[in-house]
Structure 1
Amino acid sequence: MSGQSVAVIVDIVGSRTMVDRPVVQAGIQGAFAEVDELIAVGSPIRATVGDEFQAVYPSVGIALEATLAARLALPEGVDCRFGLGLGEVNEVGAGASGPIQDGSGWWRAREAIDEAHDREDSRTPSLRGWFRAGPGDEALEATVNAYLLARDHVVGAMSERARRLTFGTMSGRVQSELAEIEGISQGAVSQALRRSGGMNLLAAVAQLKELS
């Protein structure tokens, strides 16, 4: 995997049925700006065309951390789908909003988001992300996708408060601070993080950050 990056394509779930897309777009971009501040490596998550966004991360583990943070940070009632592709990411020119990139990482990210969409529509409706790697990385691909299947099920079942608390914990806020923000007790914060699976999500992504 030497010299490879993880390209990420993001799209908005149900964007065509949203009543006020400009408001939704602004909310998503605000959430992704928080993620970019938290995960300050690689290329920031930037809007491209239509309902899509793109980012690049230096490793699989960091890409998984960033995409988890992105789902947790989204505004209430908004969700996104993620395609992650491991491979080459090459600059081929300059565009108005930044460098134009191509390479196997982007091709695989497109395959991955299409697969996520297909699976969401059929066997696994809670799925929001998929990962593609190249020849020789089949075991890594299977491991990451098993994680994404479990992760997305947990996140999909979380309340909006549980998502906020989990993202707040990822961002380094202590439970007493989160309790004050939410207007609840510190014990209620701890209980919510345990019952929702938020602490398990954070423990899992901490392990997966070791993936190079």
Structure 2
Amino acid sequence: MAMKAETSLQVALIGDLVGSRRHPSRAVAQEQLIAALGVANEVVPAVQPLAPTVGDEFQGVYPDVATAARAALVVRLALAGDLDTRCGIGVGSLEIVGSSDYGLTQDGPAWWAARDAIVEAKRREGGQTKRLRTWLEVHEPGDRDDTPEIDVPLVNAFLLCRDDLVTRFDARQRRLVLGLLRGRTQKDLAAEERISASAVSQSLRRAGAFSVLAADELLAGSTS
């Protein structure tokens, strides 16, 4: 018996690895991606947790734009070495049409919007905003009255600025910000890094990390 299609309004996220073809080992790169997705799934609540699909891609579903944006951030922070990711976030209806080895088989405007968003993010990387890694698109809702009010240009302005800062983080700064997002204290992080708490604070302040974290909280409050 065919599965009955279910449609709802959701926030879809599609991501891929940046520069994975230049990695010495594609297998190691894939292992590191899967580990980073696991961290994101621990830290960020999802409607459908992030999971790898085909090639270097992964996808997930979130309850709102701010949560999806945070998940994209956590994946970037959790990756090791020179690996990075690019993400498209799409808002629209989402249809569950079946299941597969990768999880639920889905289709619909949320995924189309997420695909358009990741294409746009990649296009913009080729210009003056080369550090951009995340973009948002909202599918035209037609006559639906349950579409949340989202200021798309404002969210994308936030993503442009956030990604520019995060792309400049060094490996330690990524670990520190990820630690704070996981609820660790600066004292805990200092002990793990074998540096002083003052050095942790100075590193985070110098990188603009506190602004990234504060902006993340403000976005969550504005889109909830």
Q: What's the TM-score bracket when you normalise by the shorter of the two chains?
A: over 0.9
Question: Residues 58-83 of structure 1: CA distance to partner in whole angstroms, max 9, x if unpaired?
Answer: 10111111111111111121100000
The 3 A distance-change label for structure 1 pair 138 and 39 is closer
Residues 66 and 220 of structure 2 are in contact (CA less than 8 Å); yes or no, is this contact kept in structure 1? Answer: yes
Of 90, 99, 104, which aligns to 1:85?
90
Residues 179 and 189 of structure 1 are in contact (CA less than 8 Å); yes or no, is this contact kept in structure 2? Answer: yes
- TM superposition shift of 1:175: 0.8
Of 144, 155, 168, which aligns to 2:166?
155
**Structure 1 segment 134-153 matched on structure 2, within 5 A:** 134-135=139-140, 140-153=151-164
- TM superposition shift of 1:96: 2.1
Please give the TM-score of this superposition, normalised by the length of structure 1: 0.94
Match for 1:206: what amino acid?
Answer: E
Question: Residues 105-155 of structure 1: CA distance to partner in whole angstroms, max 9, x if unpaired?
Answer: 000000000001111012311111111013378961101110111011000
Tell me, in whole angstroms, the C-alpha distance in 1 between the residues paired with 2:123 and 2:149. Answer: 20
Equivalent position SS for 1:82:
strand
Q: Which one has the largest radius of gyration?
A: 2
Please give the TM-score of this superposition, normalised by the length of structure 2: 0.89
Residues 20 and 83 of structure 2 are in contact (CA less than 8 Å); yes or no, is this contact kept in structure 1? Answer: no
Find out whether 1:56 has 2:61 as its counterpart.
yes
Question: Residues 163-198 of structure 1: CA distance to partner in whole angstroms, max 9, x if unpaired?
Answer: 110110010001111001111001101111111111
Find out whether 1:186 has 2:197 as its counterpart.
yes
Tell me, in whole angstroms, the C-alpha distance in 1 between the residues paired with 2:140 and 2:99. Answer: 30
Match for 1:150: what amino acid?
Answer: C
Aligned residues: 210
Match for 2:214: what amino acid?
Answer: A
Residues 136 and 156 of structure 2 are in contact (CA less than 8 Å); yes or no, is this contact kept in structure 1? Answer: yes
Unmatched runs of 5 consecutive residues or more in structure 1: none
Tell me, in whole angstroms, the C-alpha distance in 1 between the residues paired with 2:127 and 2:201. Answer: 35
Task: Percent identity, please.
Answer: 44
Equivalent position SS for 1:4:
strand
Tell me, in whole angstroms, the C-alpha distance in 2 between the residues paired with 1:141 and 1:11. Answer: 22
Of 110, 135, 139, which aligns to 1:130?
135
Find out whether 1:206 has 2:217 as its counterpart.
yes
Worse-matched range after superposition: 129-138 or 84-93: 129-138
Structure 1 counterpart of 2:145 = none
Structure 2 counterpart of 1:6 = 11
Equivalent position SS for 1:89:
strand
Match for 2:180: what amino acid?
Answer: T
Find out whether 1:119 has 2:130 as its counterpart.
no
Unmatched runs of 5 consecutive residues or more in structure 2: 1-7, 142-147
Tell me, in whole angstroms, the C-alpha distance in 1 between the residues paired with 2:152 and 2:189. Answer: 35
* Alpha-carbon RMSD: 1.5
